[in-house]
Structure 1
Amino acid sequence: MLNPELLQYLRDLLDQARACADPEATAMTLATVSGDGRPHARIVLLKGIEADGLRFYTNYRSAKGEEIRAHAEVALCLHWKHLGEVKAGGVQVRVEGRASRLHDDESDAYFSTRPRGSQIGAWASLQSQTLPDRAAFDARVADYEQQFAGKDVPRPPHWGGYRVLPDVVEVWHGREFRLHERRRWERFADVWRERLLYP
């Protein structure tokens, strides 16, 4: 679990990023490892910072979902270039930890808040599989729109959330002349230790 001070610090940074000019403060790089050891990275959206970790949602059958299932150790990175000394690079947060699925009721609750078009898209997309042409995808969207016409769209069983419980959190504050500040927290069992790093 994140200790209360670190949890609040991360939430405060996210709130500050949302309040400034960043058009997508929750954009977060997720890095996973494939079965043959190749690293893969992509952008997902941060949907919460809780005591049990950072949360995001995706298709469990996607490439990232399959990689997490096989190897749950992941890395996350957020970059808020409009925070702090903007010309010096802003603020970067790096996280390393273990991903695990959220409970179905948590995924259901979040799914119910998504726009209907996004809900339909979660059913229609065979994420990461080969798509023969755009018309095939459009046809699947139309099929699910018809299937759920006049009804609430339920969460697909293959779609839901993950939490990443950190072992390491590093926050980098850009400073002029590259005299940056780096703060690193590492978890040993349930004890978090903080130290500074040379930039």
Structure 2
Amino acid sequence: MAISDIRRQYRLCTLDESQLTDDPIVLFERWLKDVIEAEVPDPTAMTVATVAKNGQPSQRIVLLKDVSAEGFVFYTNYGSRKAQELADNPKVSLHFPWFFMERQVRVSGVAHKMSVAENARYFLSRPKDSQLAAIASHQSKPIAKRELLMAQFSQLKEKFTKGEIPVPDFWGGFRIVPHQIEFWQGGENRLHDRFEYNLSASGDWQIQRLMP
């Protein structure tokens, strides 16, 4: 079968005005709850798209760690490619690919670094091996072979056999404060339902239906 022949119909459900909420975060939380309850793999996985100084976009998958009226939160190494690009251009796009539910959510916003206290609180809540991995890996930097990374991890594990692991100053979170959120529900015959929320200057969310 040719790639161009791969297709399917989207028939699970529709999205109309009666299902919308005034605040898109409320609708997002409902959809996220649906995905979690459906036991979709990696329900909090999202694509984070950033742009380099030369205008080249870059994407990667990270895990959403919090969502509230304040925004969407993820954590990373501040020396990573994504963090460096956000330092130069804090405008960011998030994408939640919930294809098992025939749904997608797209978020456009601005990245803000989390506070030291917020970083520490989350870091210390992580499993110990995850804490050590965050210190062992100089994210996005070249490495000759995997064995070097594993050796660094083992050394740190031996060093911190007992006691609390210090929170690294090169690691922390970003909160994406959204100004646009789109909800996409797959529809039969490619007649998808799309609703876009845009934040107005007064702080209210304006909603419009988009053509599929």
TM-score by length of 1: 0.92
Q: Deviations over 1:120-154 (max 9, x none)?
A: 00110011111011221112112211222201112
Aligned partner of residue 100 in structure 2, secondary structure: coil
Aligned residues: 191
The structure 2 residue matched to 1:34, chosen from 52, 60, 64, is 52
Structure 1 or 2, whichever has the larger Rg, is: 2
Write the distance in 2 (CA, Å) between the matches of 1:113 and 1:91. 31
Aligned to 1:155: 167
Shift of 1:191: 2.4
- Comparing 55-64 with 189-198, which one deviates more in the overlay? 189-198
Contact 1:22 1:81 in 2 (8 A): no
Shift of 1:82: 2.5
Shift of 1:52: 1.0
- What aligned pairs does 1:57-96 form with structure 2 within 5 A after superposition? 57-83=75-101, 90-96=102-108
Percentage identity across aligned positions? 37
| Gap change, CA 1:97 and 1:156, over 3 Å in 2 | same
Q: Where do 5+ consecutive residues of structure 2 fail to align?
A: 1-20
Write the distance in 2 (CA, Å) between the matches of 1:125 and 1:96. 29
Aligned to 1:195: 208
Shift of 1:58: 0.6
Q: Residue 94 of structure 1 aligns to which amino acid in structure 2?
A: R
Write the distance in 1 (CA, Å) between the matches of 2:111 and 2:23. 22
Aligned to 2:191: 179
Q: CA RMSD in A?
A: 1.3
Contact 2:184 2:192 in 1 (8 A): yes
The structure 2 residue matched to 1:5, chosen from 23, 39, 46, is 23
Q: Where do 5+ consecutive residues of structure 1 fail to align?
A: 84-89
Give every structure 1 segment of 4 or more consecutive aligned residues whose post-TM-superposition deviation is greater than 3 Å: none
TM-score by length of 2: 0.86
Write the distance in 2 (CA, Å) between the matches of 1:148 and 1:68. 32
Contact 1:20 1:82 in 2 (8 A): no
